[in-house]
Amino acid sequence: MKHTDRVVLELPDWMERFVRDWMHPLVTVEQRMALAVALSSENVAQGSGGPFGAIIVRESDSMLLGAGVNTVTRSCISLAHAEMVAISMAQANLGGWDLGAAGAVQLVTSCEPCAMCYGAVPWSGVQGLAWGARREDAEAAGFDEGYKPEDWCEALQRRGIATRGDVLRAQAAAVLEHYGHSGGTIYHPESP
**What is residue 191's predicted lDDT score, i.e. its pLDDT?**
53
**What is residue 18's predicted lDDT score, i.e. its pLDDT?**
86
CA–CA distance, 122 with 38 (Å, rounded to integer): 25
**What is residue 163's predicted lDDT score, i.e. its pLDDT?**
98
**What is residue 125's predicted lDDT score, i.e. its pLDDT?**
97
Residue 40, exposed/middle/buried by CB under 10 A (0-12, 13-18, 19+)? buried
Blockwise average pLDDT, block size 10, the chain, 192 residues = 80 89 87 97 96 97 95 92 97 95 95 97 97 97 93 97 98 97 82 51
**What is residue 114's predicted lDDT score, i.e. its pLDDT?**
97
**What is residue 190's predicted lDDT score, i.e. its pLDDT?**
65
State pLDDT tens for residues 36-49. Answer: 999 999 999 999 99
Q: Are 97 and 39 in contact (CB under 8 A)?
A: no
The dihedral formed by the CA atoms of 99, 101, 102 and 105, expressed in degrees to the nearest 10: 50
83 classed as catalytic: yes
Q: Of these residues, 30, 42, 59, 83, which one is catalytic?
A: 83
pTM score: 0.94
> If you write DSSP's letter for every residue of the chain in order, what string do you get?
----S---PPPPHHHHHHHHTT-S---SHHHHHHHHHHHHHHHHHTTSS-S-EEEEEETTTTEEEEEEE--HHHHT-TT--HHHHHHHHHHHHHTSS-GGGGS-EEEEEEE---HHHHHHHHHHT--EEEEEE-HHHHHHTT-------TTHHHHHHHTT-EEE--TTHHHHHHHHHHHHHTT----SPPP-
